[in-house]
Structure formats: structure tokens, C-alpha cells
């Protein structure tokens, strides 16, 4: 059974979606992310993926007040990412109600510090963000490509005890063009114990079913939901 995780991406406190991470492509879907989170909970979802896009751009958490409001208004298990660069950011996210935080750019630029945080907070509270473009890990709100290749990057942190990995194929994100199933299958073949969260490109129920059939443990979806392309009754019936 694949874990179903709807997403709320935040810019200026509003629920938005981008295409391929381009801020100029912003489309606002709901000006009240708290009401959106409550609706997800009412529909039966247990988990929520929240991304602070302002934070990713600013390189520090910006929308922690929205995170706190969502956590106080719902019983959803919320994972939070975007702009986490310091221990102060991590503490701020956990204090605002995040159950887990996603470490992306910092895992590339300062792996020593990242590993210290894994030791301090526990690998179960950390999600490794692996945002991929042309086989390389992308950083800083997808504005830069690093020199890190995907598989060695993942191996380093799997050996450190990290099990939760959010992998976004940037070329797919927000395109509704279908997820990068073959990439995810390669990752699972290499790291079968990983709780891999597929992200990017989901356009319909069939895409989610395809990921489940491929053995992918979890999926994040956003635009497909907001565009009315996902049949909820079918989604939960199959899960």
C-alpha cells in the first residue's frame, strides 16, 4: 500500500504550485493553507508535505507561522522543508509542529553538519531531500546544480541511518507529465529498505497506481490534486 501525501507549497502564506521550480510560473490555488490542510484531513489523509518556497529562496525558514497554524488546526503528520540551513531553523520547525524536517541543500553543502543533526535529532525525524536534475543533486530552491551524483549522495546518508528520502525529478515537477518511475525503481533496487517518497509529475490515479506497482513506498502529489485530476474514491479504495 503506497503512502499518499498531499502537498502544500507556500509563497507569501498562500498555497501555490510552480512548474519545474520556476517562481515565475507560480499559480495560487488557495489563499488559506490552513483551510486546505483541514480539508485534506477531512478527506482522510493522515500525512501532509509542506514546502516553504519563500524559505528555499531566502535560505532560512520564512513560513513557520503557517506551519504552526496547520499543526494546531489538524492532527496531520506534517513534514516540513524549504530553507532549513541552521540548527535554529530545525528547532523553529519542530517547535512549530513539524513531525519531520527535510534537509536538502545543506546535505550537499555541509554534510558534516547534516550528519551531526541526524545524530542529534534522530534519523526518523529527518527526510533527506534529493532533488535531481540531469543526474545531479540540485540546491538552493533548484537554482543551482551541485557536482553530487544521485546514487553516491544517497548511499552516504543511507549508511548514516537515514531511511526517509524525498526524491523529486525536477524536470517532471508541476508538469503533470507522469513521474520518473524508472529512476525510482533504480533507487529502490539499490536501497530496498529505503522509505522513498516519489515527487514530481503525478497527473492522475494511474500514475499513483503505477508507482505502487513498481514498489515505491510513498508519493507526494500537488498540482494533479488541485487541478481535479485525482479521483479520491478510487484512490482510497485501492489503498
Residues 59-97: pLDDT tens digits?
899 999 999 999 999 999 999 999 899 999 999 999 999
| 134 or 103, greater pLDDT | 103
Question: Would you name the residues annotated as active-site residues?
Answer: 9, 131
Binned at pLDDT 50, 70 and 90, residue 195 comes out as very high
Residues 12-62: pLDDT tens digits?
999 998 887 788 889 999 999 999 999 999 999 999 999 999 998 898 999
The confidence score (pLDDT) of residue 174 equals 80
pLDDT exceeds cutoff 80 at 141 = no
The confidence score (pLDDT) of residue 22 equals 84
pLDDT exceeds cutoff 70 at 142 = no
The confidence score (pLDDT) of residue 2 equals 95
pTM: 0.93
Percent of the chain with pLDDT over 70: 97
Which residues are registered as beta bridge partners of 52? 10
Tell me what the pLDDT averaged over the chain comes to.
93
The confidence score (pLDDT) of residue 94 equals 98
Amino acid at each position: 500500500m503506497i503512502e499518499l501525501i498531499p502537498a502544500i507549497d507556500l509563497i507569501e502564506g498562500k498555497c501555490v504550485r510552480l512548474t519545474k521550480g520556476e517562481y515565475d510560473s507560480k499559480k495560487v490555488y488557495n489563499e488559506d493553507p490552513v483551510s486546505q490542510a483541514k480539508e485534506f484531513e477531512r478527506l482522510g489523509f493522515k500525512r501532509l508535505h509542506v514546502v516553504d518556497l519563500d524559505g528555499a529562496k531566502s535560505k532560512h525558514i520564512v513560513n513557520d507561522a503557517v506551519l504552526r497554524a496547520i499543526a494546531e488546526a489538524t492532527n496531520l503528520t506534517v513534514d516540513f522543508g524549504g530553507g532549513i540551513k541552521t540548527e535554529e531553523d530545525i528547532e523553529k520547525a519542530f517547535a512549530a509542529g513539524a513531525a519531520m524536517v527535510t534537509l536538502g541543500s545543506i546535505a550537499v553543502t555541509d554534510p558534516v553538519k547534516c550528519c551531526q543533526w541526524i545524530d542529534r535529532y534522530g534519523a526518523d525525524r529527518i527526510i533527506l531531500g534529493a532533488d535531481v536534475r540531469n543526474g545531479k543533486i540540485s540546491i538552493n530552491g533548484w537554482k543551482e546544480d551541485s557536482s553530487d551524483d544521485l546514487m553516491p549522495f544517497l548511499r552516504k546518508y543511507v549508511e548514516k541511518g537515514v531511511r526517509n528520502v524525498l526524491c523529486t525529478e525536477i524536470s517532471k515537477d508541476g508538469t503533470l507529465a507522469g513521474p520518473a518511475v524508472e529512476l525510482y525503481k533504480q533507487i529502490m533496487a539499490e536501497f530496498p529498505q529505503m522509505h522513498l517518497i516519489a515527487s514530481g509529475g503525478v497527473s492522475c490515479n494511474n500514475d499513483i497506481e503505477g508507482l505502487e506497482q513498481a514498489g515505491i513506498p510513498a508519493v507526494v502529489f500537488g498540482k494533479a490534486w488541485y487541478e481535479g485530476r485525482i479521483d479520491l474514491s478510487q484512490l482510497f479504495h485501492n489503498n
